[in-house]
Amino acid sequence: MPEQDLLSLQPAHLRELQARYERVLAAEGFDSLLIASGAAPYRHRDDQAYVFQGFGPFLHWTGLTGQEHSWLLIRPGQAPVLWLYQPVDFWHATPELAAEPWQQVIEVRRRPEPGVPELGATKRLAVVGDPQVLEAVPGEHNPEALLAAIEETRVHKTAYEIECLAEANRHALVGHQAAARAFLQGESEFGINLAYQQATGQREADAPYHSIIGLNEHAGTLHYQYYDTCAPQKPRSLLIDAGVRYRGYCSDITRTTAAPGEPRFAALVQGLEALQLRLCDMVAPRVDYVDIHRKTHQGIAALLSASGLVSGLSDEAMVEQGITRAFFPHGIGHFLGVQVHDVAGKPTPPPADAPFLRMTRTLEEGMVVTIEPGLYFIPSLLEPIRNSAAGQYLNEALIAELSGCGGIRIEDNVVVTATGARNLSR
């Protein structure tokens, strides 16, 4: 969507937020709400601060990820007021806001001090944000029921939010193509990261999460966090899980590439991708997300059987005996928004057989979720299977061969529409 069209959707998004927040404030008995953007704490006994990305509710309204010490006041029937911290500072730059349509809805005031602004008269004020910046602030801090209610306002994305997420996907996909090319040219994890950053025009500090880039065995560590500067002697596989932020909104995409000369691993990647696309097709209103997770286990069992990794056991028994969980230990996905693992996904805890599932709700129009099945060779998870009666069904020779490729994950970002789904990552 052209940028001007996307920007023109933002005022309606803000009016919808105003209506949602007014309902929450009325229900919780507050007449005003102050949202703190937050500030990066300093490292202990150091003059260097941690990376800052802003508090979720502040991003939901403004999308401004880099604005520390800023405040947003919401009151029923009145325009929101945004106090932007703009110090006179010759050490750092103070970027100016581009003139955009949202500034007709939110009143912007600039101030050079970091502390809380003068709010005017309030009857019952709630303040939400990082407790570290709220010390001298009046009002009730982070009331639990109010926080839960405003997190619920993030569950159904507006048209503006969906277009921001689509844009975040579009940018990330360019990066993923560049990363795959770099891998096939023999680059190291570090070099692949540079290629991703170059293609997305996004520095690490601004990414929605630390990009996961694993070659060979490293692909089998779910959130592998280092970048080797040397490529392995024989590059066999690349798993890259990386996103982009666009106006505060995150993409969260994973792709796995088999090196030429790895036909068995390539076939497994192909099989998992076919399963992933079928799971994406399940996304629709009234579908229980936990069912998609359970279908994933059935699909993984079928894949283990078809590839010969496990034989002599029915698909049902593979799931029941925990074999599929050893190969696919995480959940099928989560909500996505201004936080990569967006809030309010678990009003009920996950079932005992899916302890890491981050989303347990029934899908409704406007929700945005990830669909991210995986199949990994993780020694610490395979060991207990090996040492149990089920060990006899494992094809150890094939597992040993493919363990050097680490694992596979394929992840897309999917919007629930009125009649089905829109996949933003394809």
Chain residues in the site for Mn ion (CB under 5 A): 241, 252, 254, 370, 411
d(CA 33, CA 23): 12
Amino acid of residue 315: D
Say whether 47 counts as a known binding-site residue: no
250 close to 243: Cβ distance less than 8 angstroms: yes
Residue 189's binding partner among ligand GLY, Mn ion, none (Cβ under 5 to 8 angstroms by kind) is none
Q: How far is the CB of 207 from ligand GLY (least distance, A)?
A: 10
> Judged by CB under 6 A, how many residues of this single chain contact ligand GLY?
6
Rounded to whole angstroms, how far apart are CA atoms 22 and 37?
20
Residue 209 contact among ligand GLY, Mn ion, none, beta carbon within 5 to 8 Å by kind: ligand GLY
Does 412 bind ligand GLY (CB under 6 A)? Our answer is no
97 binds, among ligand GLY, Mn ion, none (CB under 5 to 8 A by kind): none
What torsion do the CA atoms of 231, 205, 196, 229 make, to the nearest 10 degrees? Answer: -10
Radius of gyration (Cα) for the chain, nearest Å? 23
CA atoms within 13 A on the CB side of 347: 9
24 within 8 A of 153, measured Cβ to Cβ: yes
- Measured from the CB of residue 342, what is the shortest distance to Mn ion in angstroms? 10
Confirm or deny that 411 is annotated as ligand binding.
yes
Give the whole-angstrom CA distance, residue 97 versus residue 103. 10
Measured in degrees and rounded to the nearest 5, phi and psi for residue 109 equal -125, 140
Is 163 one of the annotated binding-site residues?
no
Residue among 163 and 412 whose Cβ is closer to Mn ion: 412
Q: Are 383 and 215 in contact (CB under 8 A)?
A: no
263-282 and 396-403 are packed helices; what angle lies between their axes, rounded to 10 degrees? 90
- What does the alpha-carbon distance between residue 240 and residue 189 come to, in Å, rounded to a whole number? 9
Distance (Å, rounded) from C-alpha 156 to C-alpha 367?
A: 5
Q: x/- contact string, 186-215, with ligand GLY (CB under 6 A)?
A: -----------------------x------
Shortest CB 275 distance to Mn ion, Å: 16
Which residue number has the CB closest to ligand GLY?
241
**Residue 31 labeled ligand binder:** no
- x/- site string to ligand GLY, residues 318 to 357, per CB under 6 A? ----------------------x-----------------
Q: Report the site for ligand GLY in 234-253 (rule: CB under 6 A).
A: 241, 252
Residue 334 marked ligand-binding: yes
List of residues contacting ligand GLY (CB under 6 A): 209, 241, 252, 340, 372, 411
Could you list the residues known to form a binding site for Mn(2+), using ranges. 241, 252, 334, 372, 411
